[in-house]
Amino acid sequence: MARIDESRPFLPVNIAVLTISDTRTEETDKSGDTLAELITADNHKVVHREIVKDDQPAIVRRLHRLIEDPLIDVIISTGGTGVTGRDVTPEAFIQVMDKVIEGFGELFRWLSYQKIGTSTIQSRAVGGVARGTYLFALPGSPSACKDAWTEILRYQLDSRHRPCNLVELMPRLQEHIHAAE
């Protein structure tokens, strides 16, 4: 159950939206549009948006560039999380992650099961952290993007959410790097 503590300040986060697809264009990217609309409606900022081909090395290269950008707090992708041969988004994300947030994929599939039943096993949605940036890979349907945002990410990316949220952890995400210096 989401609890928002209105006495705490809201801290907007900067989010990059990636659509992973060989066929989508800016005009046909309904999932990317859905994410961008939901993100901005909740007063966060979409600071980067693009379409990347279903190619693991290309996705990894783009993720590395976005992770290195100090203005980007979160990367959310849509597409490429299924089980076909071209679905390589989870592999690319895991390749760059320092830590996987197992609970994200588990919770997403639990929520999805309530709507699409056992078809949810085809989703390999994943979340994690890479060098201080949160990463979330969502399925390519607008409905899945809406569910992930409205049921999970909206709350975990709200600094007022109680008892805890991902935003309040941001300053501590790179502790292991600073401790080694």
pLDDT digit string, tens, across residues 13-42: 999 999 999 999 889 999 999 999 999 999
CATH number for 73: 3.40.980.10
Distance (Å, rounded) from C-alpha 62 to C-alpha 172? 24
Determine, yes or no, domain membership for 5. no
Lowest mean pLDDT among 1-5, 26-30, 118-122: 1-5
**Using 50, 70 and 90 to split pLDDT, how confident is the model at 177?**
low
Q: Note whether residue 151 is domain-resident.
A: yes
Q: How far is CA 52 from CA 17, 38, 119, in A?
A: 10, 21, 26
**Structure confidence at residue 85 (pLDDT):** 86
pTM score, whole prediction: 0.94
- Cβ-in-10-Å burial (0-12, 13-18, 19+) of 88 comes to buried
* Residue at 1 is within a domain: no
- Asked if residue 148 belongs to a domain, the reply is yes
- pLDDT band per the 50, 70, 90 thresholds, residue 103: very high
The domain total for the chain is 1
Task: Give the model's pLDDT for residue 181.
Answer: 58
- Domain hosting residue 117, numbered range: 11-173
- Does any domain span residue 58? yes
Does residue 113 form part of some domain?
Answer: yes
Q: How far apart are CA 119 and CA 107, in angstroms?
A: 15
Model pLDDT for residues 37-74, shown as the tens digit of each residue: 999 999 999 999 999 999 999 999 999 999 999 999 99
In a domain, 178, yes or no: no
The Cα–Cα gap between 154 and 30 comes to: 19
Asked whether residue 2 carries a pLDDT value surpassing 70, the answer given is: no
Position 2 in a domain: no
For 106-143, b where at least 16 C-beta lie within 10 A, e where not — what string?
ebbbebbeeebeeebeebbbbbbbbebbbbbbbbbbbe
